[in-house]
Amino acid sequence: MENKEELQLTLEGLNCANCARKIEEKVGKMEGVKESNLNFTTTTLNVKLERKVKEEHAINEIKKIVEALEPHVKVEKKVSGKTNVQKAKFEVKPTLIIGTILYLIAVIGDFKGALALILFVASYLLIGGKVVLTAIKNIARGQLFDENFLMTVATIGAFSISEYPEAVAVMLFYEIGETIQGYAVNKSRSSISSLMDIRADYANIIIDGKEKKVSPETVKVEDIILVKPGEKIPLDGIVVEGESFVDTSALTGESVPRKIAVNDEILSGGINTNGVLKVKVTKKFGESTVSRILEMVENAANKKANTEKFITKFAKVYTPIVVALAILIAVVPSIFIKDALFSTWLYRALVFLVVSCPCALVVSVPLGFFAGIGGASKKGVLVKGSNYLELLKDLETVVFDKTGTLTEGVFTVTEINTNNIQKEKLIEVAAMAESFSNHPIAISIIKEYGKEIDKEVIEEYEEIAGHGIKAVINNEEILIGNAKLMNQFNISYNEVDSIGTVVYCAINGEFKGSIVISDKIKENAAEALINLKAAGVKKTVMLTGDNKKTAEKVGEKVNIDEVHSELLPLGKVKEVEKLLKASNKNGRLAFVGDGVNDAPVLARADIGIAMGGIGSDAAIEAADVVLMKDDINALVDAINVSKKTNKILWQNIIFALGVKVIVMVLGTFGIANMWTAVFADVGVTIIAIINSTRCFR
């Protein structure tokens, strides 16, 4: 079997967050494993392998680990482009029902002596036998301090002091709570995943003029598919026939449908609203936009937030400490307090143990982050990790690229100035020199020329970064670029006092004229910057390679705080580094650019954000966050989602720990009993899970 460096597995039936943590740790310690991340919410295990490790061997070893910890969990290879959507089923085990009936008979019958003991023990084993057996197995493996161990110790301890009804009741309510908790977790997973599941279930492929309904995975590049009104678009492609409006709200959060016609690009995940479209497929299913988005959202859990890391570390030290405190509660008072009964303080210690399980935190925090990332994707924002979602709430400085971010990025020639040359000739020479470039300025010059370019006459071509182009065309040396290019080659030129980007042209060392190209400021740019300030951003900065006058004019119109112009790519990096040094220790800096040309700056910022990158592989690769619609207000939405998610998660943390501490204290003083302790464990977990799902809305 082929060796792969990355392995994705699904763990069907995994409902124990603590077990998930143990699986992640054990797989991470396997020989040949570089990194292991288990997304409890989607039950996806991501493993980075060394090249020498065979995939088949790694899967077999992982299966052994999972079977040892969670025998009922099924391990399978993850299908590319598929999300794990588990249907929530409320299933009650027959043993739980029979055990409950025996328990009720024992309590209602008020039996005494051996018969009572037999009934309570029988009901206990039927209800909690699996818990006890799991605890024994874990102890044999050297694994202490999980919920199975705590419940076993607590209930057996209750039996030892003849609290039979309460011992069984605690295990009964624990198992009922676990059943409800498992249902709540799967219900939350299902509701989040189903709302995010924007994939089409089928594609209508045209074969020999006939329509056939097939799975999108089977469709090949260049195949022709038919998309009818009301259907989801299954694959990325180019429209070859038909006209329609496409609802892209699931992708971009944009409520207004987009008009689609022949030769237009169409992305998977949208909904065709009215006309019939024939589409030539350009990407296979696993590489389609919708698949990339869903996989990105799922894999976001690999980059864990500090809060998640803290909870994981906290859970590892918290339970052993609580167990140690429980032992002290049981032993110390009976030694030092006069007339103190050991059985009384043992009972209180057992209450303390039942409360101590950190499930509420271990389950609800990663679930909350997943829901938050899902909520952001609904608003047209792709967040590539829960760590970035957490950082967004602390944004204090936002740095913008100008072109395509604050402006439309659509350049048009607005002015042509000549020096001993005809306008038509100047445009022709400029278009030829720019013909190999895909820069917006080059495209606008070529568009203005409007004729076919014979590239064979271009003998030499050199792109000078941050300056322009040097070319040899028909034995003539052509220089076309900014003022820095003219200065570099010691060419005297006539400066232009116009608003826009000025492109200067020289032929054989002689200045021949200039072309002014203007870019339109986005309509909502100024409004978006006001909204950013309202969302907590303290400082906005614009970095551009454009001339100072144009840059300052744009900055003035959008009310930006700082403008730095005439910058090379490395100059932008230096400016960002200066801003990072000057920023508040706890404040974060984001750079918003196109994700391609600004890759170095995106990487240097605390958070790299790509604008309008839904169809751009490069943007998705380069950035930490992708704004799928070309709107800065989407960043405002992302910040608000981040703040909301953080608020809800801290509600869970404070609520869970608060209730547990209160019940621990009450239990220590004999006020709270085991029934209260069970609620403080399982009940609090269920409430926290339900609260976490609010992050998605």
* DSSP secondary structure letters along 5-28: SEEEEEEET---HHHHHHHHHHHH
Sort strands 203-207 and 501-507 into parallel, antiparallel or unpaired.
Answer: unpaired
Instruction: Look at residues 131, 30, 134, 8 and name the one whose alpha carbon lies nearest to residue 75.
Output: 8
Q: Which long-range contacts (CB under 8 A, 24 or more apart) does 443-450 make?
A: 443/411, 444/410, 444/411, 444/412, 444/413, 444/517, 445/413, 445/503, 445/515, 445/517, 447/412, 448/412, 448/413, 448/515
Q: What one-letter code names the amino acid at 615?
A: G
CA angle 166, 167, 172 (to 5 degrees): 90
In the 3-class helix/strand/coil scheme, how is 567-627 assigned residue by residue?
CCHHHHHHHHHHHHHHCCCCCEEEEEECCCCCHHHHHHCCEEEEECCCCCHHHHHHCCEEE
What number of other Cβ atoms are within 10 A of residue 176's Cβ? Answer: 16
Three-class SS state of 335: helix
Sort strands 458-464 and 468-473 into parallel, antiparallel or unpaired.
Answer: antiparallel
Rg (CA), the chain: 32
Q: Are residues 610 and 622 in contact, defined by beta-carbon separation less than 8 angstroms?
A: yes
Q: Which residues have C-beta within 8 Å of that of residue 414, sequence separation ≥ 6?
A: 498, 500, 516, 517, 518
Q: What one-letter code names the amino acid at 29?
A: K
CA angle 632, 633, 639 (to 5 degrees): 105
Q: Which long-range contacts (CB under 8 A, 24 or more apart) does 449-453 make?
A: none
Q: Which residues have C-beta within 8 Å of that of residue 34, sequence separation ≥ 6?
A: 48, 49, 50
Paired with 590 in beta bridges are 398, 607
Q: Are residues 389 and 501 in contact, defined by beta-carbon separation less than 8 angstroms?
A: no
* DSSP secondary structure letters along 156-211: HHHHHTT-HHHHHHHHHHHHHHHHHHHHHHHHHHHHHHHHH----S-EEEEETTEE
Query: Can you count the helices (H) and strands (E) in the chain?
Result: 23, 26
Alpha-carbon span 260 to 277, nearest angstrom:
9
Q: Which of these is catalytic: 146, 223, 236, 401?
A: 401
H or E element, residue 59: helix 55-69
Whole-Å CA distances, 660 to 64, 332, 657: 35, 22, 5
Alpha-carbon span 651 to 692, nearest angstrom:
9
To 10 degrees, the CA torsion angle through 630, 632, 633, 638?
100
Tokens of 589: 């800096």
E strands present in 284-334: none
Alpha-carbon dihedral sign for residues 447, 449, 452, 457: negative
Three-class SS state of 648: helix
Instruction: Look at residues 350, 382, 215 and name the one whose alpha carbon lies nearest to residue 681.
Output: 350
H or E element, residue 338: none
H or E element, residue 552: helix 548-557
Known catalytic membership, residue 264: no
**Residues known to be catalytic:** 401
